[in-house]
Amino acid sequence: NRPKYFIMLFPVSAAFWWFFEYLNRFVQNWQYVGVHFSSLEYFFYASISFSTVLPAVLGTREWIQSFSWVEKCNNLIPFSIFQSKPIALSVLMASSAGIVLIGIWPDYLFPLLWVSPLLIIVSLQILSGENHVFSDIARGDWRLVISSALAALFCGCFWEMWNYFSLAKWIYSVPFVHRYEIFEMPVLGFAGYLPFGIECAILGKILARNFARQVSIQ
Question: What secondary structure letter does DSSP report for 176?
Answer: T
Domain limits at 33?
3-217
Residue 165: per-residue pLDDT? 92
- Residue 214's pLDDT is 60
Give the distance, in angstroms, between the CA of residue 217 and the centroid of all CA atoms in the same chain. Answer: 30
pLDDT of res. 216: 52
Q: What is the pLDDT of residue 157?
A: 97
Structural domains counted in the chain: 1
Nearest CA to 178 out of 168, 170, 169, 188 is that of 188
**Residue ranges, the chain, pLDDT below 70:** 212-218
Task: Please say whether the dihedral angle defined by the alpha carbons of residues 24, 27, 32 and 38, taken in this order, is positive or negative.
Answer: positive
Backbone CA torsion sign across 158, 164, 166, 171: positive
Cα–Cα distances (Å) from 64 to 45, 91, 205, 206, in that order, read 29, 31, 17, 21
- What is the reported pLDDT for 183? 94
Which positions ≥6 away from 31 have C-beta within 8 Å?
170, 171, 173
* pLDDT reported for residue 118: 95
Helices (H) and strands (E) in the chain, counts: 9, 4
Helix 193-217 crosses helix 3-27 at what angle (to 10 degrees)? 140
Residue 171 pairs in a beta bridge with 31
The tens digit of pLDDT for each residue in 130-154 reads 888 898 998 899 999 999 999 999 9
Residue pLDDT, tens place only, 84-95: 889 999 999 999
